[in-house]
Structure 1
């Protein structure tokens, strides 16, 4: 599988002082599938689909990053610079 790093990773504060860095479409898809916190998941399902489409070449990695970021924001996950 071709892992292409994003130009800017998404950093998520999982707990105070515990940062998770997601830097590629495959990392985002894996996080969405295995580590997504329980709760409202509609945006996570959509973001996962966008990630899979980017992996298949019908969407861009920028689309996947944007979808992942929006899913995090919608779920109330704190992103940090």
Structure 2
């Protein structure tokens, strides 16, 4: 199965302050379902990111498609981890 590996990971925070380095559309899809902040679930950016990850996993889009949507959703939810 194509995991849609990204060339550069995206660092995000979960609800308990743990940093996750998301490295693929598959990992992003898991994070979107399992760790996404409750108050931002089902927002348009969140749903768009889920759809983009599925597109990549099904082989209809390039991995960057999911990465861009995931970053936009993470910014909307305020969970992008800042570099030290």
**TM-score when normalising by structure 1:** 0.85
- Alpha-carbon RMSD across the aligned residues, in angstroms, is 1.4
Moved over 6 A (4+): none
Following superposition, the deviation at residue 19 of structure 1 comes to: 1.2
* Mapping of residues 1-81 of structure 1, within 5 Å: 1-14=1-14, 15=17, 18-40=18-40, 41-81=43-83
Following superposition, the deviation at residue 4 of structure 1 comes to: 4.0
Following superposition, the deviation at residue 45 of structure 1 comes to: 0.9
CA contact (8 A) 1:13 1:80 kept: no
The CA deviation string for residues 9-47 of structure 1, in whole angstroms up to 9 with x for no partner, is 0011331xx311110010001111121111133211110
Structure 2 CA distance for partners of 1:46 and 1:53, relative to 1, 3 Å: same
Gap runs ≥5 in structure 1: none
